[in-house]
Amino acid sequence: MCSRPKSQELRQLRDILTKALEGLEDIADRNFPSGSWPSLDMPISPVENQNQWEPHKDPEIQRLSNLVVAAAYQLINLVREPFASLVDVACGVRSLFHYPVQLHSPVFLRQSLLTAALNTANELNVAEILREYGTQGADVLEIAAKCQADAEKLGRCLRILATHHVFREVQPNVFAHNRISSLLDTDVPHEQLREDQLNKYETYTGHNDVSAYLGHLDQISASDVAKASLCHLEDVRTTGELYPSPKQTPFQKALNTSEDLFSWMHNPEHKYEFSRHNACIRATTRWNASEALLSGKRLFDNVRAGHVKLSATSFDWNSLPEGGIVVDVGGGTGKPAAELAKAFPRLKFVVQDQEAVVQKALKYWQVNDPKMLTEGRVSFTAHDFFKAQPVVGADVYLARIVFHDWDDKHVIQILKRLRAAASSKTRLIVADYILPFASKSSLSSLIFTDSPTIDPPPPLLPNLGKAHANTYYLDIATGRREHFRSTFKYFKKLDGKSSK
């Protein structure tokens, strides 16, 4: 089976959608009183539903609707960033778990099937196995033999994934990679994974971040984010202060632990989860084009010593002096800092995190870019950001994807430590998740474009709906930490408290 050129596939899907939609319009014109298809914004009235013609019982409408759904979903996966498609599979389904159920219940199994299938393929290293077979693919019997699984059950998992455009079923029971599934491949030889699954995230290749990210989200039966999401209903019913402590979240309820997530992962019993999480954090750079970080677009330049300046405009890294110091606070293994260091070699970057994370970071970069370390463009330092900041008077303190992990009290503590170390010229750049309302708001135009005056075209949702749904999934599905902040007003509030 040969793949078609992408441009041809785009045109074919466009034509299918156009013809099917025109067919639905013709039917609506003949059968609906208004002459148009019912608006998605209009609720269904029980009385009207009894008296009106029911379109989805019409065989022709069913046929056309199936074409629209199939073509639209394939088009989504064709044009969307493949990583986003994988994350959609990993946490989109699980975000339905808004009530506690038993892991073996039919309700749980129905709702988690797609996510569970992805987790199964990831943990059984199917992506690494299929790499060896190329575009012709491998029979599920061969795949199952290599990963010591039941061939029939594995085939069903891979088929539902292929139905959602993750992997390809090139002929009955023969599966191969496609653009989306190929991102799961860590490039680690399958034999090494057979020896020790920990090699998946301890070999320090530059290709295991996506697998790690999905594994962190996906593990239905393991002690990760998925279990915590099952406690969501119980958590929502709990009134009072929103997560007064990082030790009082659904994560603790689900795992029956008093530790916060990071302390829990540092337990030697959870070394696999800890190694995977370190690789997972590197994948967060995939959420934005590298230009977004390099240009500083949509970052918050919100503290200059005692002066507040809050905006969503670009930050000019070249405005910093020769040899300027940028401290990446809680920077993990340093992937964002490394990208900045390559783009701005005149600057020095100091990445701070916990000692165990720093050690893994050094091993990772000694394999992937040792010159960056030896030249001193990026250095790593163990530091607890709740304690006094050791780098005083840095040109920039960068807090990227840090604050959403902590409650207000702890975020204010971090800000106070940075404010105390800042000089009159220091900038604090915050890069974190923003959750705009699904209705029109001051952030709507910034989601669609850098211009504050251009909104998404109607009838699209102001927040672009499904196109930006993954961040909302993370807000709900993780269920282990304080909800992501949604407005500029929130940062203003925190800045005011940190100055007291």
Q: Distance (Å, rounded) from C-alpha 210 to C-alpha 87?
A: 9
Q: Is 186 exposed, middle or buried (0-12, 13-18, 19+ CB in 10 A)?
A: buried
Mean pLDDT of 123-137: 96
**More confident site: 180 or 112:** 180
Give me the pLDDT at residue 137, please.
97
What homologous superfamily does CATH list for 295-432+485-498? Vaccinia Virus protein VP39 (3.40.50.150)
Q: Which two tokens stand for residue 370?
A: 């040792």
Give me the pLDDT at residue 487, please.
45
Q: Which ranges of 150-208 would DSSP assign to H, the alpha helix?
A: 151-163, 190-195, 199-202
Residue 187 pLDDT grade (very low, low, confident, very high; cuts 50, 70, 90): very high
Mean pLDDT of 296-310: 38
Give me the pLDDT at residue 423, please.
96
Give me the pLDDT at residue 469, please.
82
Residue found by looking up tokens 């939609």 in the block: 21
**More confident site: 106 or 262:** 262
- Average pLDDT, whole number, for the chain? 80
In this structure, are strands 168-171 and 174-176 parallel, antiparallel, or unpaired?
antiparallel
DSSP letter, residue 45: P
Give me the pLDDT at residue 332, please.
93
Mean pLDDT of 188-209: 87
Give me the pLDDT at residue 116, please.
83
* Cα–Cα separations (whole angstroms), residue 479 to 262, 264, 362: 15, 15, 31
Question: 82: left (phi > 0), else alpha (psi -120 to 50), else beta?
Answer: alpha
**More confident site: 270 or 34:** 270
Residue 494 pLDDT grade (very low, low, confident, very high; cuts 50, 70, 90): low
pLDDT in tens, 87-129: 888 875 443 333 333 334 443 343 467 888 998 999 999 999 9
Active-site residue, selected from the candidate residues 404, 410, 468, 483: 404
**More confident site: 330 or 432:** 330
Residue 417 pLDDT grade (very low, low, confident, very high; cuts 50, 70, 90): very high
In total, the chain counts a number of residues equal to 500
Give me the pLDDT at residue 123, please.
92
Contact between 17 and 25 (Cβ < 8 Å): no
Does residue 45 register a pLDDT over 90?
A: no
pLDDT in tens, 51-83: 566 677 789 999 999 999 999 999 999 999 999
Does residue 147 register a pLDDT over 70?
A: yes
Does residue 444 register a pLDDT over 60?
A: no
Residue found by looking up tokens 């090494």 in the block: 192
468 assigned to active site: no
Sheet holding 168-171, edge to edge: 138-139, 174-176, 168-171
In this structure, are strands 427-431 and 300-303 parallel, antiparallel, or unpaired?
antiparallel
Domain boundaries, given as residue ranges, for the chain: 1-41+53-79, 106-147+169-280, 295-432+485-498
Does residue 295 register a pLDDT over 70?
A: no
H/E stretch holding 91 reads helix 82-91
Give me the pLDDT at residue 452, please.
46
Mean pLDDT of 201-207: 79
Give me the pLDDT at residue 242, please.
55
Give me the pLDDT at residue 145, please.
96
Mean pLDDT of 435-443: 74
